[in-house]
Structure 1
Amino acid sequence: MTHILIGVIGPGETASEAEMQTAHALGEAIAQAGWGLLTGGRAAGVMAAASQGAQAANGLVVGILPDADVTQAAAVDIAIVTGMGQGRNVINILSSRVVIACGLGPGTLSEMALALKLGKPLIVLQPSGCLLETLSDLSSTPLVPVATIAEAIAATRRYLAE
């Protein structure tokens, strides 16, 4: 059986407490929907919080690690070591059926750009106006701004049904 993997992207060490709380609840909601969660896998910020939330709801968590060091992994069931540094962002996006952005950092922005370039549905949770405008101008693929986790899950369901 193939699991549907939903990617959650967001800042690592610079994530705010609010972003981490949102990511935890988002990971939990993804697991409750019966989907697997894919993150950057490290013990930092949004990726760690989303992974912990999914595991709290007995969900499957896949972590795509930037280095060849599996000890960086936190709250993942399957750790994939790449040794690719930020290049692993391509794997994160290509392996996700839908990508949900929770917060913003330089790595997150690069993953958002990859999602747009590679034609992956991108859901942006609580985006700022200028970011949304810029992404929309660049996008020929689905881009959905949402205000709540419930809206993100509903949008994900719509994409998966297509």
Structure 2
Amino acid sequence: MKKIIIGVMGAGSGATSTDLKNAYKLGQLIAQESWVLLTGGRNMGVMDAASRGAKSVNGLTIGILPGNNLDGISEAVDIPIVTASEVALAIKNNKKVILLGSNLESQAFFVALSPETVFVVDTPESAIERIKNLV
């Protein structure tokens, strides 16, 4: 059976405590839906928090890491992929992107890039509802 892969991207070292709390919860909710979590794969910020959240409920995690090695990978990543920016890849491939808790400037930037595929939400639960409506 084909698995649904849901990506969570966000701040690394600049993540706020609210960002981390939301990312952890979102990772849990994604895994509880039996979806696969895709992040930037690093051991900091939103990427790590979402991966740890998914792993806390036995979810499967994939990390797309920039560069050409596994330096700085999150211990909560099951499948590492070394390549380019995950948000850019999603938008380039016409994938749906949901922004959770991003600042207004970031929202405006990404929505302007692809208004048909970028959505803004306020809570992890509203992100899950949006995903369910899209898949």
TM-score normalised by the chain length of structure 2: 0.85
The within-5 A match list for 1:85-104 is: 88-89=84-85, 92=86
Structure 1 equivalent of residue 118 of structure 2: 143
Closer, same or farther: CA 14–65 of 1 in aligned 2, 3 Å: same
Deviates more, 1:16-25 or 1:44-53: 16-25
Deviates more, 1:151-160 or 1:63-72: 63-72
The residue identity in structure 1 corresponding to 2:70 is D
SS at match of 2:119: strand
State whether structure 2 residue 12 is matched by structure 1 residue 40. no
CA distance in 1, matches of 2:125, 2:73: 30
1:122 aligned to 90, 97, 113, which one? 97
Q: Percent identity over the alignment?
A: 40
Structure 2 equivalent of residue 106 of structure 1: none
The residue identity in structure 2 corresponding to 1:142 is T
CA distance in 2, matches of 1:133, 1:65: 25
Closer, same or farther: CA 57–129 of 1 in aligned 2, 3 Å: same
CA distance in 2, matches of 1:65, 1:117: 17
- Between Structure 1 and Structure 2, which shows a larger proportion of helix residues? 1
Map Cα deviations across residues 30-60 of structure 1 (whole Å, 9 max, x no partner): 0011101011111111100000000001110
The within-5 A match list for 1:8-157 is: 8-66=8-66, 67-69=68-70, 72-80=73-81, 82=82, 84=83, 88-89=84-85, 92=86, 111=87, 114-157=89-132
8 A contact 1:132–1:145 mirrored in 2: yes
Map Cα deviations across residues 77-104 of structure 1 (whole Å, 9 max, x no partner): 1222x2x4xxx21xx3xxxxxxxxxxxx
Offset of residue 63 of structure 1: 1.3
Q: Structure 2: which 5+ runs fail to align?
A: none
The residue identity in structure 1 corresponding to 2:98 is I
CA distance in 1, matches of 2:51, 2:126: 20
Q: Structure 1: which 5+ runs fail to align?
A: 93-110
Closer, same or farther: CA 158–43 of 1 in aligned 2, 3 Å: same
Closer, same or farther: CA 118–148 of 1 in aligned 2, 3 Å: same
Paired positions, count = 134
SS at match of 1:72: coil
Closer, same or farther: CA 72–126 of 1 in aligned 2, 3 Å: closer
TM-score normalised by the chain length of structure 1: 0.72
